[in-house]
Structure 1
Amino acid sequence: MLVDSHCHLNFEQLSSQLDNVVARAGDAGVGHMLTIGTKLREFDHVLGIAEAYDNIHCSVGVHPHEAETEGDEVTTEKLIQLSQNQNVVAIGETGLDYFYEHAPRELQKKSFRIHIDAARETGLPLIVHTRNADNDTIDILREEYEKGPFTGVIHCFSSGWEVAEKSMEIGFYVSISGIVTFKTATELQDHVRKLPLEKLLVETDAPYLAPVPKRGKSNEPSFVAHTAAKVAVLKEITFEELSSVTTDNFFKLFNKIERTAK
């Protein structure tokens, strides 16, 4: 079994054909999906999807792009309250994005720390988005970890090696998206070769970042098989072994989910 550890099933490209998307995922061997919250004002839709399918769970959080537009709504107490639903298994995605800078950096940092506080209080894993913000991401994770432990994952990893190294030092996992299949992603491919198997996850980030050979199409959970195949080649193991290890890792991290299938 494979798991898509990060997708956005509430986005129009996928939600408009959700039954078919879920069926195709099953046909591709994808047994579980985690659909991710990015806006509190859309959380009910995200949660509704998780409640409608036995093999889908969700997270609650505010993407760094939304740190200004939703900043007043993001509190530790609010995130903790929304996470009490049995289908909510993670906090985020949150983090820092200095590539687009859709929100001021200081507001992104504030939101990031609030999410970390909620993850620490609930014991749920934190889903971290980081782009062009390596140093600040590392600094905040380190500073907050010193206040009390928490766990999580660097999603859609494409940063410098130090982000992976420092996050794994505090127990984080690292999730690989379809970017790893791109011809230009030679640095990321080198990083994947170094990543320990016991810290690896795979994801789509659907509907974005469709892997080779699906470039140009809307991404969906079934396509995680192509990413897994590429990672298996880079790690010099079989596809079956990669699938087994990353699925085990997923259920270890997101341990609020009752695993019913191997």
Structure 2
Amino acid sequence: MNSLFIVDSHCHLDFPDFDEDRDLVVQRAAENGVKLLLTISTTVAKIDTLLALTERYANVFATVGTHPNRAADEPDVPAARLIELASKNAKIVGIGEAGLDYYYDKATPQTQERVFREHIAAARQTGLPLVIHARSADEDMERILTEETAIGAFPFVLHCFSSGKRLADVGVELGGYVSFSGILAFNRSLDIREIADGVPLDRLLVETDAPYLAPPPYRGKRNEPGYTRYTAEVLATVKDVDLPEIARATSDNFFRLFSKTPDLRTL
């Protein structure tokens, strides 16, 4: 068994892309050193599907929330409902993913913001980290995070980071973490690697966002959690450390942020 312990802090194991070989996907991840998977909610309506996966696989955990591109489908899920679901299930360890996506026009900015703020309230009240999706919305994201942190701090991670340096800096200043996906390894992503270099080592996570955004050498193919290793290797190069150190640091960071998750390294 691979001695590395890497966490895929963001994948979508429930998506139909994995219906034919889900067991093998989880097995291949472990063989590649990726030994804990966080499968991320995109709609509250599908939470039972995610929970079934967490029951099937001991090393799979979940979040609960509404993706901004689904905000028009679930515009009125209150923080209380998110809190209730999270409190009832030991394997729900985070809130989200929620946030702002202005790249697509699937929900109005006003609806996205209202839904996002409900998720922030749930994260603040539970102490569970909020998984934040931010795309083409840097200014509004900075504004909302700053306003809400002034009301009361809450744990969060800017997932699959592809925004500008200022948002990364603001996120870290407000106490958040920054997670990098396979985008980090793309040839054109010099700016993202520069941003990653500037994020403190104790605020970094790695992820796949599988089935999307497979890193080289699998670019253009279905992504899967085991490929987190390739992003971790690139991050190690960016930070001028070796892969075991990046694996340790990003796993330490994950368990610090997602503190409801048992540290499988000690079990």
| TM-score interval, smaller chain | over 0.9
2:102 to 80, 98, 109: 98
Partner Cα separation in structure 2 for residue 101 and residue 190 of structure 1: 29
* 2:247 is equivalent to residue 238 of structure 1: no
**Among 58, 77, 80, the residue aligned to 1:77:** 80
Residue in 1 aligned with 2:153?
149
Summarize the Cα distance change of 1:172–1:15 in structure 2 as closer, same or farther, 3 Å threshold: farther
Query: Using the alignment, how far apart are the partners of 1:56 and 1:28 within structure 2?
Result: 16
Q: Which amino acid aligns with 2:167?
A: V
Count of matched residue positions in the alignment of Structure 1 and Structure 2: 261
TM-score, normalised on structure 2?
0.96
Aligned mates of 1:142, 1:88 — CA distance in 2: 26
Q: Give me the TM-score of the superposition, normalised by structure 1.
A: 0.98
Q: Distance in 1 between matches of 2:151 and 2:111?
A: 20
Alignment partners' CA distance in 2, 1:146 and 1:194:
25
Amino acid of the residue matched to residue 156 of structure 2? G
Residue 41 of structure 1 deviates from its aligned partner by 1.6
Cross-structure match for 1:177: 181
**Given the alignment of the two structures, is residue 188 of structure 1 paired with residue 192 of structure 2, yes or no?**
yes
Counterpart of 2:225 in structure 1 is 221
The aligned residue for residue 26 of structure 2 is 22
Q: CA RMSD in A?
A: 0.9
Tell me whether 1:49 sits opposite 2:53 in the alignment.
yes
Quick one: distance in 2 between partners of 1:127 and 1:101?
Answer: 21
Question: Is residue 151–residue 170 contact of structure 1 (8 Å, CA) maintained in 2?
Answer: no
Unaligned runs of 5+ in 2: none
Q: Which residue of 2 aligns with 1:68?
A: 72
Give per-residue Cα distances to partners, 1:170-207, cap 9 Å, x unaligned: 21100000001111111101111111100000000000
Which residue of 216, 240, 254 corresponds with 2:258?
A: 254
Structure 2 partner of 1:117:
121
* Superposed structure 1 runs of 4+ greater than 2 Å apart: none
Distance in 1, matches of 2:85 and 2:202, equals: 30
2:43 — aligned with what?
A: 39
For 1:225 and 1:235, the matched residues in 2 are separated by 15
Task: Give the C-alpha shift of residue 16 in structure 1.
Answer: 3.2
Paired with 2:124 and 2:41, the residues of 1 have a C-alpha distance of 18
Amino acid in the other structure paired with 2:15 = F
Residue number among 15, 29, 43 corresponding to 1:11 in the alignment: 15
How many Å apart are 1:112 and its aligned residue? 0.4
Q: Write the distance in 2 (CA, Å) between the matches of 1:69 and 1:261.
A: 38
SS, match of residue 218 in structure 1: coil
CA–CA distance in structure 1, aligned partners of residues 148 and 18 of structure 2: 35
